[in-house]
């Protein structure tokens, strides 16, 4: 599992380098808020295109490790090309190349992880639960944020963020050679079209309602991720210097580590449904505070909600989707979820967020908080109220605590 942990660390380190500084990079290239929203929306559009295809390939023809090698290689090349782009169209095209290449990375990681846990369990070997592997991604997100804070404060341009992300993609490519070979795409898969089986599974009423609720959350979250850096640095709002953006983001991610490590204990204490409801309420509070009470202390202090935000958006979904998946179509289900919920939700959220941000950044966060609140009844009904981590079958009880 060591190579899988390292792969999570590198994948999130790429995002930790890129996400906090991408809006500022685009702004310095002369793009308007609306254009920034359109560029960032390509992340969602890519999520709507490639994860399902990658999941199908992982379930049928190619190993996840080979697909991940392609992902990291193409993503790194696209970021290198983006550094040389200045016009809106070239920035849009080069970032689209990165987004399309990198979109399947988390679904492929998750599918490989769950398959490896299952394989080890069949051989009588214990494995850490999913959240104890995924926490390395959280650590990976923090490290480049701290490094880039020091580099940019010393006078380096924001371009350093993209250069760092490209270098991390190269390391990710090299690490794929160490990943385990067995996965859901191994010979013996009997379903010739696992995508159709996965789609039938998503048609179950509660799972469908869950996906609709998560679609709303992903749409509102995309507004937050796209424009929180602008909210911090805009002179008409908070107005802090750009070098602080990564450091402020790392505060929230540091809080996330404790939630990640305690995910199993929180589920056993609150139930899975209780944890999700609490998380959605925290997300609503975070967005409304940013929209209605503009102050540097509030802008930084709302990072305390980041950990439970990540629980709801990024940790619980793979666990719940894996419960509904079978060995022959696990990667397809994770890919379809990434496409339909993460992808299309981000496209709609980013485009609408860009238009609203052109009018009012504070109004954007208020509106996003209201959209988040709409998801609460759907998730409260659809998420099971149990205390099991079914996706972690074969993991040690000690590791869950």
Strand, coil or helix: 231: helix
> In which domain, by residue range, is 324 found?
2-176+195-400
pTM (predicted TM-score): 0.74
pLDDT (tens digit per residue) in 37-52: 788 878 777 877 788 7
pLDDT (tens digit per residue) in 6-65: 999 999 999 989 988 898 899 889 888 888 878 887 877 787 778 878 877 877 777 888
Q: Residue 153: name the closest of 242, 243, 241 by CA.
A: 243
Distance CA 76, CA 78 (A): 5
Q: What is the CATH number of the domain that holds 364?
A: 1.20.1250.20
Q: Within a 10 A sphere around the Cβ of 89, how many other Cβ atoms?
A: 8
What is the rounded average pLDDT for all residues in the chain? 85
Which residues are bridge partners to 127 per DSSP? 395
Provide the number of structural domains found in the chain.
Answer: 1
Burial class of residue 295 in the structure, from the number of CB atoms within 10 Å of its CB (0-12 exposed, 13-18 middle, 19+ buried): exposed
Burial class of residue 291 in the structure, from the number of CB atoms within 10 Å of its CB (0-12 exposed, 13-18 middle, 19+ buried): buried
The answer as to whether 280 is a domain residue is yes
pLDDT value at position 399? Answer: 36
Distance CA 319, CA 123 (A): 22
Q: Within a 10 A sphere around the Cβ of 146, how many other Cβ atoms?
A: 14
The continuous run of DSSP H or E covering 136 comes out as helix 130-153
pLDDT value at position 32? Answer: 86
The answer as to whether 189 is a domain residue is no
pLDDT (tens digit per residue) in 334-376: 888 988 898 888 888 888 888 898 889 999 999 999 999 999 9
The answer as to whether 135 is a domain residue is yes
Distance CA 178, CA 191 (A): 28
The answer as to whether 214 is a domain residue is yes
The answer as to whether 190 is a domain residue is no
The answer as to whether 185 is a domain residue is no
The answer as to whether 229 is a domain residue is yes
The answer as to whether 270 is a domain residue is yes
């Amino acid at each position: 599992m060591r190579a899988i942990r390292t792969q999570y660390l590198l994948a999130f380190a790429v995002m930790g380098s890129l996400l906090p500084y991408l809006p500022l990079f685009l702004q310095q290239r002369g793009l308007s808020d609306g254009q920034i929203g359109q560029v960032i929306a390509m992340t969602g559009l890519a999520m709507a295109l490639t994860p399902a295809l990658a999941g199908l390939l992982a379930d049928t023809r190619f190993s996840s490790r080979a697909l991940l090698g392609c992902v990291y290689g193409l993503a790194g090349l696209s970021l290198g090309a983006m550094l040389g782009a200045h016009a809106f169209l070239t920035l849009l095209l080069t970032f689209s190349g990165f987004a399309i290449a990198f979109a399947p990375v988390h679904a492929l990681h998750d599918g490989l992880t769950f398959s490896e846990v299952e394989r080890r369990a069949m051989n009588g070997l214990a494995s850490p639960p999913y959240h104890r592997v995924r926490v390395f991604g959280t650590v990976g997100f923090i490290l480049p944020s701290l490094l880039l804070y020091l580099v940019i404060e010393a006078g380096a341009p924001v371009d350093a963020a993209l250069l760092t992300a490209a270098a991390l993609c190269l390391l990710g490519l090299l690490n794929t050679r160490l990943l385990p070979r067995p996965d859901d795409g191994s010979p013996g898969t009997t379903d010739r079209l696992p995508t159709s089986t996965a789609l039938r599974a998503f048609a179950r009423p509660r799972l469908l309602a869950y996906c609709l609720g998560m679609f709303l959350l992903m749409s509102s979250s995309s507004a937050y991720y796209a424009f929180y850096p602008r909210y911090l640095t805009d002179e008409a709002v908070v107005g802090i210097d750009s070098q602080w953006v990564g450091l402020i983001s790392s505060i929230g991610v540091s809080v996330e580590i404790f939630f990640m490590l305690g995910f199993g204990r929180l589920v056993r204490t609150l139930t899975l449904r209780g944890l999700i409801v609490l998380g959605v309420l925290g997300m609503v509070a975070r967005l409304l505070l940013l929209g209605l009470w503009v102050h540097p202390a509030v802008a930084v202090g709302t990072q305390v909600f980041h950990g439970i935000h990540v629980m709801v958006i990024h940790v619980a979904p793979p666990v719940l989707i894996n419960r509904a998946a079978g060995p022959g179509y696990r990667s397809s289900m994770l890919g379809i979820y990434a496409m339909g919920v993460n992808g299309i939700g981000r496209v709609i959220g980013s485009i609408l967020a860009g238009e609203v941000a052109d009018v009012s950044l504070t109004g954007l966060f208020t509106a996003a908080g209201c959209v988040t609140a709409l998801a609460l009844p759907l998730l409260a009904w659809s998420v099971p109220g149990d205390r099991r981590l079914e996706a972690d079958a074969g993991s040690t009880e000690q590791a869950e605590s």
